Structure formats: C-alpha cells, structure tokens
Structure 1
Amino acid sequence: MFSKLFGKSKEKAKVATPEIMGLRIGGSFDIDPLLLRLSESELITDGCAPTHIIQAAGLVDMDGTFVFRFYTDDDAFLQVIAEGGKEEHNIIDVKLFHFYDTQDIPTQELWDDLLKNKIGQPSYQLLDHTFERVWTSAGTYHNPVHMCENTFDENGESSETDQFTMLFERPISSNNTESLFLSAEEKLEP
C-alpha cells in the first residue's frame, strides 16, 4: 500500500542496454551480400548470413575505450570499439566475428598454461592459415588483455564475464584482413 502512495514500483527498473550506431537488442544489420560472395572463399568462416538479428548486447569499459558487442542469430558478434566516449563519432573500429570453436578448460593447470603460454603467442595457426598477433609487446609473449563484459539478453537479464583476450589477423585480397579473436572466459558464480 505504501509503495503505491509514494510511487515505488515492485517492477525492476529498466536497465539501459548497450546501443551504438542504431545497433541494439532486437535490431538487425546487413552485410553486403556481394562482399560476402567475393571474400567468402578466402575466409575460414563459410555460409555467413547477410542479415543478422541481434539477440544480446555486451559492453566493456576499458578506462574510456568502450567495446560494444552485438551477439546475433548466426553464431556471430559485431564488435564496435569507441574511444573517448560512447557516441558514433568516437568509433575507431568495427569487426564481425563468427564463433569457430568453444573448449572446456577442466583444470587450473590447463587454464594457467593457456593464459601464460598460449593465447599471447606472436602467431596462431588455424587450419592452414597463420594469423599474426595485432597487439604489440616488448617481449615475444603478450599477456592476454583482460576485459570484463556486462552482457544483456532479450529478456533483460544480464551477466558479467571476465575475459582474457588476444587479437590476430592475416592478410587476404584487396588489402583486407581476416581477424581471429581468442578469448579465455570465466564467469564467477556468487
């Protein structure tokens, strides 16, 4: 009764989900079908859909650099990086990634080896292709970059994931590149 008198609601307050460039949960975006046809034979991913429906959205705040991720119905995510703010004019990079493989890491020993010896190598071999690490380091090995992503789904539920990441690329035709994003993820349960 008092909550009605003082305007308090039992419903959860609606949380603002990540949005940029008109991208949002429930929205969609298109990739030029001609571009897909021309480059698909060079890519590891095949059968990419030209239209993607956004089913979840995530945001990482890296001290003023914001990583937006829009997870789609095509086992992909569009990553938009904005530096210095969350507005369209702050965007410095946009990449579409398709999930290639997911592996369970069953022991602490394997987890430690992955983070200390594998993810940050200078190059990464996938199928018959060699990807070179994009992020530079003074040494041969680059420690994975930590990101804490807050992700929202279509139902308004959110989760937080710690990610230890590395970016690799390889050249393809027309001065384009194919990117490979490695991420070791853990979700700490309360």
Structure 2
Amino acid sequence: MFDRLFGRRSGSAEPELPAIRNITIGRTVVLDPLAWRRFGGALLFPFDSDTLQIVAQGVVQLDGGGFIHRFYTDEDVMFQAVTNDRAGQDVTDVTIFAPWESKYPTGRGERPAWRERLTARTFTDEGLPEYSRAWFGDEAERQDPVTFWEDLHDDRDGIVDRRIFQTCMLYARTVEGDGRELLLAIDQETEAGEVSFEIMLGMALELGEFRA
C-alpha cells in the first residue's frame, strides 16, 4: 500500500485541512457495501455499514514526498487516502480499516516483544488466520517496520490537536472470490507517553466505491 518511507512532519500547520474527494471533518462518507459483501463470510473485516460520520482527521507527510490522509469515526473506523499532494487532487490509494483489538502493555518486556512481531514475515493473533507481510514483500525473514508521526485534528482550523508516533507493518491474506483482506499492526505512543498495540482489519477501495 505504501511504497515510501514515512517521516516526521516538519514546518508549521497549513491554515486549513484539505478535503480529499470532498471528505473532511463533519462530512458523511457513503460506501458501496458490495465492496466487501461480495466476498460473503470470507472476510473477518469487522464492519458492515454503508456510512461513515467523520469526526477527526489525521495527516502524515511522507519523507520522500506525498501524504497520508486519515478520516475517523466515533467508533475508530479509519478511512485512508494516500495522495501525491497535500490538497489531495492526486489520490493513489484508498483503504478502510476497522479496529479488531487494542492491547495495553503492563510489563517491561511486552513492548519489545510486540515490536519484534512487527518485523516478521507473517502475523497472526488469537482468532485470526495467518497474514503475510504486504509492505516490502515477504522474501526477507525480518523487515524493519514503518515509523511516522500523525498530526490529528478535531476541527478544520488546521491547528494540530494531538500527535501520535506510530510503528507499524501492513499484512494481507487472499480470500475466496479474488479478495484481499488487510491487517495493520501498530505500536502507537502519544506525546504524553501512553502506549497501545492496535490490530486493524481492512480492505482496499476503488474510487467509485465511495462518495461524500
């Protein structure tokens, strides 16, 4: 999904958040539910609605150019668009992810162990099948995960309300009917030092499978 490394955003905030294909805070995204229902019960993707009410927006600037725009609901469903420009006129990739599980480390060794899992060729967890590494291919036994800062906004004034540092890896598995389910495994830490481990399941969308 991402072909470039991520980097921490630098410089001052833009005066206003961009709307990506008319999507921004306060808007409703209407999805084509056949995008995933056509695969029947093959997907574990924990989402079965045709609308998203956007309440927060995240922006990541890629180290080598380009941007990631993320749009969140109250239920932490994440609609994501990768673009070549901040204004979002050139969209290259669209995905939707829903939370599967959140974990909060309580012991000293839990975080190093979790991060080690993000380097592996495959990923699985309780109740999940095996997913293969989608970023960088699965040839190498180990691969460093991707890291980046995400600037999060609760309104459209362009002022960053909070920032989260994320270390993550994308995995995928093939399902019946020529489908592909994505798994995003994340280690995230707020600026206040709060850490959580996140597993999200999702899928890619075509540009004609949503509107706002």
Q: TM-score range by the shorter chain?
A: 0.7 to 0.9
Ranked by relative contact order (alpha carbons within 8 Å, sequence separation 6 or more), the top structure is 2
Residue deviations 1:5-41, cap 9 Å, x none?
A: xxxxxxxxx9523431111000111111333432351
SS of 2:54's equivalent? strand
Decide which of 181, 186, 189 is 2:184's aligned counterpart. Answer: 181
Paired residue secondary structure (1:111) = helix
Distance in 1, matches of 2:130 and 2:26, equals: 36
In structure 1, C-alpha distance between the alignment counterparts of 2:141 and 2:94, rounded to whole Å: 27
Name 2:43's counterpart in structure 1: 43
* 1:61-80 alignment runs, 5 A limit: 61-63=61-63, 64-80=65-81
Q: Secondary structure of 1:101's match? A: strand
Q: How does 1:1-190 map to 2 (within 5 A)?
A: 15-63=15-63, 64-83=65-84, 85-115=85-115, 117-126=116-125, 127-136=127-136, 139-154=140-155, 158-189=161-192
Change (3 A) 1:35 1:189: closer
The unaligned stretches of length 5 or more in structure 1 are 1-13
Change (3 A) 1:86 1:175: farther
The change in CA–CA distance for 1:40 and 1:23 in structure 2 (over 3 A counts) is farther
Relative to the length of structure 2, the TM-score reads: 0.73
2:34 aligns to what SS in structure 1?
Answer: helix
Say whether the 8 Å CA contact 1:52–1:73 is kept in structure 2.
Answer: no
Structure 2: gaps spanning 5 or more residues? 1-13, 194-212
CA shift, 1:74, in A, is 4.1
Q: Percent identity?
A: 23
* TM-score, L = length of structure 1: 0.81
Change (3 A) 1:79 1:46: same
What is the rounded CA distance, in whole Å, between the counterparts of 2:40 and 2:72 in structure 1? Answer: 20
Partners of 1:96 and 1:118 in 2: CA distance: 23
Q: CA deviation at 1:171?
A: 1.0
How far does residue 154 in structure 1 lie from its aligned partner after superposition?
4.2
Indicate the structure (1 or 2) with the bigger Cα radius of gyration.
1
